[in-house]
Amino acid sequence: MRMTATRLIGTVALGGALLASAACGPLDSVAGGKKKTACNNIQSELSSIKSKISQPDTTNLRSSSAANARLYRSTASKIRSEGAKAGGDVESSSDKVASDLESLATVLGNIGSGSTRTPDMSGSRNFIQDAADLGRACGYTG
């Protein structure tokens, strides 16, 4: 299945919005603040993607795709770091979300480099589910 850059960006924005609206619900008191802080920071990172994303430039798709690939890799690194601070389910779930973002960054990087190879879009399919799992790990129950 071929996916346009616009649709790919929309998928990531949707997943980020899903997590942003749900990720940091009531946290158990055992978390001691590290989990809550990490989840809040992850939520903030994913929420900010939408405002930082470069809109696809039809005259220079390579440039906007490469810029978004860098954004996704940077966001993945920050999410992975925050998840490690929380540990447990948040860490394992945030690692999956970060890996999904890195997979999407690779697809965008390939577009940015002019590759004509059909992209592997498994990262976009997993992203929404993994973001929902991360939301549950952060205490979302609704």
Query: How is the chain split into domains, by residue range?
Result: 26-137
**Cβ atoms 118, 2 nearer than 8 A:** yes
Answer yes or no: pTM beyond 0.85: no
Residue pLDDT, tens place only, 50-94: 888 887 777 777 788 888 889 999 999 999 999 999 999 999 999
Q: Say whether pLDDT at 123 is over 80.
A: no
**Cβ atoms 23, 136 nearer than 8 A:** no
Check residue 65 and give its pLDDT: 83
Whole-number Å distance between alpha carbons of 56 and 48: 17
